[in-house]
Chains A and B, each alone.
Chain A
Amino acid sequence: MMQTAQVDANQVAPVDTIDLRREFEDVEIAPVLEQLDRELVGLAPVKTRIREIASLLLMERIRQKMGLTTTFPTLHMSFTGNPGTGKTTVALRMAGILHRLGFVRRGHVISVTRDDLVGQYIGHTAPKTKEVLKKAMGGVLFIDEAYYLYRPENERDYGQEAIEILLQIMESQREDLVVILAGYADRMEKFFSSNPGFRSRIAHHIDFPDYSEGELLTIAELMLEGQNYRFTPEARAAFEKYISVRRTQPLFSNARSIRNALDRVRLRQANRLVSRLDRVLTSNDVMSIEAADVLASRVFRNAEQ
């Protein structure tokens, strides 16, 4: 039974016709796409790109079955955008899609940064990079802020060694792993210009726009709901204000900043409740975030200054 499921498309005699709906349902990518829709607020252009890529790969699979193609497609990608725009989450779902379509064997994601790949001394980098690559085999290697691998200001930088190994594997073991390079759009662009080898090996670029204020509010409310909290109407208004102020401040990182802000809001709510011990709490009290919990944020004070 397991055997038939594992039969490689290439080994079977080419077919002339394919029932598209059946093929689509067989690979079960619809649930992954739905999960992505549920998990991530907004991001319409990203979701469209993912659907396009999924469709393309589904066709690639069908073309293989029909004997119309024999080469393995290049699948490496770059995800560009500011922090907290959902790149890691999308990478996880992308790995799921690639796995279900049969383009990676295991479908796991290994997420790394420069420090995981590049060593501190001579002879240290190659084993480190190879170790990471071995772990990623059969899945997706997600390199966050990939441009840190390249430090032109230091000509002895060991990052170059990691880059060379990566490039080689990205070419020679396309069937064994997919590499996703991620980071800020502008820096990534510069990185590609100085390392054309990467650009030529990247098949799909996806740009992750910043969230709108409305989307950020929805994200906040979803996060709260997941933890059984909710804003009072006043708190909701206060948080809207919070978002618009916070966005203009440094180190804003979209959904991640929202999560951090809510963590602090919950802290202040708890403190507020505990400060008045002599009373009976209702579940409504425990669930409610009030305006004061939001407005006490440093963000507002900093903005006034």
Chain B
Amino acid sequence: MNDQSITVRGKDRYKSGVMEYKRMGYWEPSYQPKDTDVIALFRVTPQDGVDPTEACAAVAGESSTATWTVVWTDRLTAAEKYRAKCYRVEPVPSSPGSYFAYIAYDLDLFEAGSIANLTASIIGNVFGFKPLKALRLEDMRLPVAYVKTFQGPATGIVVERERLDKFGRPLLGATVKPKLGLSGRNYGRVVYEALKGGLDFTKDDENINSQPFMHWRERFLYCMEAVNKAQAATGEMKGTYLNVTAATMEDMYERAEFAKQLGSCIVMIDLVIGYTAIQSMAKWARKNDMILHLHRAGHSTYTRQRSHGVSFRVIAKWMRLAGVDHIHAGTVVGKLEGDPNTTRGYYDICREDFNPMRLEHGVFFDQPWASLNKMMPVASGGIHAGQMHQLLDLLGEDVVLQFGGGTIGHPRGIAAGATANRVALEAMILARNEGRDYVHEGPEILARAAQSCTPLREALEVWKDVTFNYESTDTPDFVPTVTAAV
């Protein structure tokens, strides 16, 4: 790669006409990023014949100040400061034709506390830029100075646990199934059975809003009857994520207010409502003592393919800034996409106060979170009680395990399914804390717990052979080696 700056300086720089991006100041290999810079790492795949350095400089240019030609009005600004600077380009390991471009952006390029503004720059126009075959935003380093301009999770893991009085184990949830078609009355039945049986939460699905078969008020009223009844039956705090996703902000606020009025401790939104709406709901949630659950509906359209789009780890970072409390972050063992190491990276972004660079987890930068609350990752999709030891090992303790089919599909009913999951979980935590090698002894621990719990025995029997072993499409580019990464 070029390692010399070839930026044109002096009066030639602003001569009218077209100039290569790398000569306009968007390629500065000796630039040392400042502590306050936002840094983005892109995976750039140039069109055939396009110089990689020029392609990467173009990404820096198009995501900051540049346009296709030199404009004299640059001279009315502190243009050098505002230019994003690509300072490092390197080939992607075992992926010919693709390059990692490290690009630094001055903090003044962004509006404080606005994901919409941040993303309008970083992923605004540039993804359609013709000289590129494909472009992917792999990771971002958000400086403390910028992190501190965001509210962060409305509630956070610690306060959520305090409010629910649930400590020391993953929380258990289930998405009400079938996703579509149940009436409010029938829907509430599923919620009641699941919560009474031992789950902590039930959840609306992402596309349950307000449809002809069940208008939202019906759902809210019956669900809260179910929650309160289950709470009285067990003496334990319960909740159901009432999805307030709607067509307009006004509708969403109305639904959220109703949920609050009914005494719900949590509401839910979908990623598809957009970053601004998410930030608005996060502010509302903080103001109203509400936990805010985010379903990442739609993300796979741009997160899944390794060559083009935005990595989910970046979405996770944006959502932690935006201020949601729960975020679906993958299960590893379930039915949806998720490589173990990559998923581990997402979970760390949700839960740690500081993420060290860890290439084998796809984490490219040290990321301080500056005491922003922690976000509870949610594992949902195709998981069941028989995997409890693996789930605990892979996902840890601060996570919501959502067993939808794994609760409702139980042969003896929803409550039995819920009990099976809860018993499996508690038995596994007990064994882990006792110092047992629960990962290897997992099946044995479950079998032992099942001796005094018929529902668990039945669950283990029904789903004993269910696994989803498909190759992941989004794995880290760097494999762990014996020597330290430089």
Contacts and interface: CB of A to CB of B under 8 A. Distances in A.
Interface of A: 1-3, 6
Interface in B378-436: 435-436
B111 interface: no
A155 to B, nearest CB: 49
Interface string B112-151: 0000000000000000000000000000000000000000
B108 interface: no
Nearest to A5: B435
8 contacts: A1-B437, A2-B435, A2-B436, A2-B437, A3-B435, A3-B436, A3-B437, A6-B435
A289 to B, nearest CB: 45
Contacts of B436: 2-3
A211 B206 CA distance: 81
Contacts of A6: 435
Given A3-B435, A6-B435, 6 more contacts: A1-B437, A2-B435, A2-B436, A2-B437, A3-B436, A3-B437
Interface string B428-470: 0000000111000000000000000000000000000000000
Nearest to A1: B437
Contacts of A2: 435-437
A4 to B, nearest CB: 10
A105 to B, nearest CB: 13
Place the interface of chain B in its size category.
under 10
Contacts of A3: 435-437
B412 to A, nearest CB: 33
Contacts of B435: 2-3, 6
B296 to A, nearest CB: 38
A3 B437 CA distance: 8
Contacts of B437: 1-3
Nearest to B440: A1
B330 to A, nearest CB: 30
Nearest to B435: A2
A286 to B, nearest CB: 39
B395 to A, nearest CB: 22
Nearest to A2: B435
A2 B438 CA distance: 11
B438 to A, nearest CB: 11
A3 B431 CA distance: 11
A275 B435 CA distance: 62
Contacts of A1: 437
A193 B466 CA distance: 73
Nearest to B436: A3
B427 to A, nearest CB: 16
B18 to A, nearest CB: 67
A140 to B, nearest CB: 24
Nearest to A3: B436
A32 B437 CA distance: 30
B430 to A, nearest CB: 14
B179 to A, nearest CB: 43
Nearest to B437: A1
A1 B436 CA distance: 8
A2 B437 CA distance: 7
Nearest to A6: B435
Closest 8 CB pairs of A and B: A2-B435, A1-B437, A3-B436, A2-B437, A2-B436, A3-B437, A6-B435, A3-B435
A3 B436 CA distance: 6
A2 B435 CA distance: 7
A2 to B, nearest CB: 5
A17 B435 CA distance: 30
B283 to A, nearest CB: 47
A6 B437 CA distance: 13
B127 to A, nearest CB: 50
A57 to B, nearest CB: 25
A109 B401 CA distance: 43
A3 B432 CA distance: 11
A74 to B, nearest CB: 29
A2 B441 CA distance: 12
A142 B121 CA distance: 67
A154 B435 CA distance: 50
A185 B215 CA distance: 87
A3 B440 CA distance: 13
Interface string B322-350: 00000000000000000000000000000
Nearest to B441: A3
A6 B434 CA distance: 11
A294 B166 CA distance: 66
A17 B436 CA distance: 30
A109 B88 CA distance: 55
A1 B437 CA distance: 7
A1 B438 CA distance: 11
A44 B436 CA distance: 44
B219 to A, nearest CB: 48
A230 B435 CA distance: 50
A111 to B, nearest CB: 29
A247 B188 CA distance: 88
B121 to A, nearest CB: 52
A146 B276 CA distance: 70
A150 B98 CA distance: 82
